[in-house]
Amino acid sequence: MKRRRPSRTFLRVFSAFCLVFVITLTALSTWSLVDERRGSEADARVLDVEHRGERTFVTVQFSTSRGEVCEARFRVAVDANRSVTTGERVRVNHARSAPCLRVREVGDHSGWYIILIAVVLLIAFGILAYVAWRRPRPPLLLRYAGMP
Say whether pLDDT at 8 is over 90. Answer: no
Supply the DSSP string of 54-97, one letter for each residue.
Answer: TEEEEEEEEE-TTS-EEEEEEE--SGGGTT--TT-EEEEEE-SS
Cα–Cα distance for residue pair 115/121, rounded to 1 Å: 10
pTM over 0.75: no
Domain boundaries, the chain: 8-133
Q: What is the pLDDT of residues 53-74, one digit of tens each?
A: 888 899 999 988 888 898 989 8
8 A C-beta contact, residue 105 and residue 91: yes
Cα–Cα distance for residue pair 49/87, rounded to 1 Å: 10
